[in-house]
Amino acid sequence: MERSSSSSSPQREPGRGWWRWAAIGGAVAGVAVAFGYVGGWLAPARLTPHRIVDALQTAGGGIHPGFRRNHAKGVCVTGYFEGNGAASAYSVAPFFKAVRTPVVGRFALPGGNPYAPDSSVPIRSLALKLTAPDGEQWRTGMNAMPVFPVATPQAFYAQLMATRPDPKTGKPDPAKVKAFFGAHPEAGAFLQWVKGAKPSASYVTESYYGLNAFYFVDAAGKRQAVRWRVVPEQTAGAGDVATAADPNVLQQDVTQRIAAGAQKWKLLVTLAEPGDPVDDATKVWPAQRTTIDAGTLVLDRVEAQDSGPCRDVNYDPTVLPQGIQVSGDPLLAARSAAYADSYLRRTSEEAGVAGVARLSSEGR
C-alpha cells in the first residue's frame, strides 16, 4: 500500500498508557449519557408527552385499544368551509378567499372513556381538518368553552393528577381537587364558566373556541395575533340538557339534524390589540375587540368514528398553512407532542405492534 510521502510515516508506535483507553471510554460514555439525557431516560423529572398521555389514559379508566387517549367518544362529520375573503386582509391562507374547501371534522366529548355518558361532562369539542387543492392543511381542535382551565402543560398534568379517580372510591379526592384549584388561581375564569355550564343535548347548537392564540400573517409578512371560534346558525333546542337517561343523545341528535339539512357555523376571528395575552389560554380578550366574520362552516354528512374519514386524523393544532402560525402559547407545543403520542398508541394497537394492547371487539 502506498503511503503519503510526508516525512513521518502515519504508522507510528502504538499509543500506550491507561489514559488513552480512559479517554476513549469517557468520550463514548459522555456522548451516550448526553443522548440519554436529551431523550429523557436520564431526566425522570421532565414532563414528557408519554407521561401526559399515561395520565389521560388513567383518567379515562384505562386503555381502550384503538381509541384516542382524550376526546375518545366522538363522531365524524364532513362538509366544507366557504371563505368570504374578509380574513384575507390578515392572512394569506388559501381558505379565507371566497372559495369552498373540503372539511373532515369530528365532534367529541372530552375525556378518555369512549363509553362515557353524554351528560357526564358539560363540554363538547369540534375538530376540523381543511385541505386546500395544493395539499396545504389547517387543523384545529376547538372546545365549547371560552377559556382553558390552565395555562401550561405542567399545570395541566398537575390537574390530571389531582382530579384522577381515587382507587378506593372511584371518585376524585375532593381535598386534592381543592388543593389544586387553590394553587392555580388562573383557573378562576374557567371555574366561573363551568358553574353555569350544562351538558348540551346537541353538538350543533354549541359555539366552539380555538382557545389558544395564533398569528395570522399577511402578504407583507405582518403578523396579527388572533383567536377564532365557530358560532352556530342553528339555535332550535339550544339549552336542552343531556340527561343520564340518554347517554348517547349527541350522536343521535347530530345524525337526525344533518339528515334533515346541512348545519352551519360562522367562523369568527377576533383580532388582538397590543397588550392582549397571546400565550395564556386561561384569559379571555376584552369583548370589544374587532371580530371578523371569515366565512361559513357547513357540515352535511355524519359517519361513525370507527369507519368514518376522521378516524385516522390526528387533529394536531400546529398543522397550519402558510398565513397562520403558532403563538407562544405553551399549550400548543404540548398538544402537538401529546397528540402525536396518542396517535402512535392507537395506530400501533391497530397494527398489532408487539407490546401494545390488542385491539379487541371494542373497535374504535
Give the residue numbers of the binding site.
339
Q: How far is the CB of 24 from other proteins (least distance, A)?
A: 4
Closest CB to other proteins among residues 20, 171: 20
Name the CA dihedral angle for 62, 67, 71, 75, rounded to a multiple of 10 degrees.
-140
Of 50, 64, 71, 184, the active-site residue reads 71
Residues annotated within the binding site for heme are: 339
Subset of 10-49 contacting other proteins (CB under 8 A): 10-15, 20-21, 23-24, 27-28, 31-32, 34-35, 38-40, 43, 46-49
Q: How far is the CB of 185 from other proteins (least distance, A)?
A: 23
Which residue in this structure is represented by grid cell 407490546?
355
Closest CB to other proteins among residues 300, 350: 350
Q: How far is the CB of 337 from other proteins (least distance, A)?
A: 5
Yes or no: say if 95 and 81 are a contact pair by the CB < 8 Å rule: yes
Q: How far is the CB of 246 from other proteins (least distance, A)?
A: 31
Pick one of 243, 256, 307, 322: the residue that binds other proteins (CB under 8 A). 322
Following DSSP, what letter does each residue of 12-67 receive, concatenated? -PPP-SHHHHHHHHHHHHHHHHHHHHHTTTT-TTS--HHHHHHHHHHHTTS--TTS
Q: Which of 136, 138, 153 is nearest to 56 (CA)?
A: 153
**Residues 186-225: x where in contact with other proteins by CB under 8 A, - otherwise, as a string:** ----------------------------------------
Q: In angstroms, rounded to a whole number, what is the distance separating the alpha carbons of residues 22 and 24?
A: 5
| Under rule CB under 8 A, residue 1 binds other proteins | yes
Where b means 16+ CB within 10 Å and e means fewer, 67-102 reads bbbbbbbbbbbbbbbbbbeebbebbbbbbbeebebe
Pick one of 116, 189, 268, 340: the residue that binds other proteins (CB under 8 A). 340
For 330, half-sphere exposure in the C-beta direction (CA atoms, 13 angstrom radius) is: 10
Q: Of the listed pieces 76-84, 238-246, 292-300, 347-355, which binds other proteins according to CB under 8 A?
A: 347-355
**Residues 130-169: x where in contact with other proteins by CB under 8 A, - otherwise, as a string:** ----xxxx---------------x----------------
Following DSSP, what letter does each residue of 124-169 receive, concatenated? -EEEEEEE-TTS-EEEEEEESSSS-S-SSHHHHHHHHHHHSBPTTT
| Under rule CB under 8 A, residue 84 binds other proteins | no
- The answer to whether 71 is a known catalytic residue is yes
| Under rule CB under 8 A, residue 363 binds other proteins | no
Q: How far is the CB of 10 from other proteins (least distance, A)?
A: 3
Which residue in this structure is represented by grid cell 357540515?
299
Which residue in this structure is represented by grid cell 402560525?
325
Subset of 298-317 contacting other proteins (CB under 8 A): 311-314, 316
The torsion angles phi and psi of 228, rounded to 5 degrees, stand at: -125, 160
Q: Which residues touch 52 (CB under 8 Å, ≥6 apart)? A: 153, 156, 157, 160, 334, 337, 338, 341
Spacing of C-alpha 269 from chain mean position: 19
Catalytic residues, by residue number, are 71
Binding site for other proteins (CB under 8 A): 1-4, 10-15, 20-21, 23-24, 27-28, 31-32, 34-35, 38-40, 43, 46-50, 52, 134-137, 153, 311-314, 316, 318-319, 322, 326, 328, 330, 332-334, 336-338, 340-341, 343-344, 346-348, 350-351, 353
